[in-house]
Structure 1
Amino acid sequence: MNKITFREIPKEKIEENQIPKNQVYKVSEPMSIPFVEDHATHKEQVELDYQLKDGQYGLYANEFRGQYTSKDGCKKADVLACVVDEKEKTVYTLIFDVKSNISAFSDDLKKDEAVITAVKEVRDFIEQIHDSMLHKESFMIYLKDEGYKETVEIAIVTKNFEKEKFIAVADYLENILDEKGTIQNIPELIKVKQRTLLLPYRGEIYKLRKFAERELLIGNLVYELNVYLLGKHSENTYGVKIRMSSGNGKVMECKKVIQ
């Protein structure tokens, strides 16, 4: 039987916040691992608190992609993390991406690019999660072959998640693309221009509605989305702490979309 092994996470790199990307590391003891995104005016930090028991170890990867996946066009989430329980033969997996403020687009959807910005933010996030779910199978398949059962959590980490704004974008798209739409106070010439500009995004309407309800449409399946909100920890630091333990693993809720 093939048995997969992982390199130990370099502790000095944790302290320096310089853990190499695209490498799955083993976490052999309880510890906290920060994932930090630096910006010009602030930084965002997610602290992964690995609460490991006897017979358990963790896995951690930053921007992981499959070994044989081309970099061109490849998307990946910020973090892939796991807790492996060797006694119970279970794996809890967390995949998340940090978005400073997924709801930051303008409330005035008639403004240039407001709708497109919202659509692309959601679409890109879904693609990152989808690709990362595929990437992890490059090593997860070996654990599953040993009889391990995996539960998965997919999540977004952001300052704000405003459900109403995503619903508004979906409504706007639906109305502007319908020649009998009910959007008021827009000159007909601008409606025609907007309709031409937004027509390629007709297929995103349902995805936006599901996203607003904290669900992701991937292929023909809908998955539950967990939202972790960043709190202000200091003048220029926003953060959140996520507990990593086998106890908080839950089955990835999904249901087939009936076309």
Structure 2
Amino acid sequence: MRLLAAVDLGEEFQDVVETARFLQGALGMPAELLHVVPTSYLEALARRFPDLAPSLEATLGSVEGKVREALAETGLKGQVFRGFPAQVVAGEALKSRLVLVGQRGVGALEVLARGGLARYLLHRGEVPVLLLPRAMKAVRRIAVGLDDSPASLSAFRVAEAWGRAMGAEVLGLHLVSGEGGCCFPTYLDPKGLALAEVLERARGHLEALLKATGVVEVSKGEDELDLLRLAEARGADLLVLGSKARSTWRHRLGRMVEALLTQSHLPLLVVPEAAVW
């Protein structure tokens, strides 16, 4: 199975290409670039004005040729399709183990990523999606946002597999908040326990759930961004979150994913609940 990198030729292009090249070696899977030429408007023009069809087709053919040349220069395999980007990428994602999407700047695909392409892929919940605010060239420490959900467990298992492949440390991070905060521990009673006892019990609960020891850190936090701050403070190169997109319609992606989707300064890997690496 391949790693699929959805690209345009905007400012995030090089970041996605460098990350695809790195992951191809680190995970031992072939990487493939995918560029989709949006054609719906031009096709509508050709239907409305048939005399324009030949010149529009010639223009599209020229564009595709130039894009193929640009992809070939990366040294990675590349494909150029026509159509609606979100639908084409989603279809190709089903033949892939991972999809990479650029997540910075104001390029065309970035606009889609913040409100269209990435969110569309995440809501489908079919394949892990790696959002890239910058290039990922090395991974020494992987942080996983934890709760006690099956989605979180899936994310941790994928992070473990990546950690073994890359020789990277995997650190589970769990936030505990008061009522009304981002991460109220429903499996405990914070009202009747001191904070230190809540944190210690939460740590034991998660270690037993994950069958892991020494990799879980529990911290007080009232805001989803507190998880990002904690991951950055621990020197993480990658943040992994689980998504319950296919199992619920309430907070469909999970509150943490929704909050960090556009605000994470770290590469963010979102793992669907049913994913197995």
Compare the two structures and name the one with the higher helix fraction. Answer: 2
Structure with the larger strand share? 1
- TM-score interval (norm. to shorter): under 0.3
Q: When the two structures are superposed, what TM-score results if normalisation uses the length of structure 2? A: 0.26
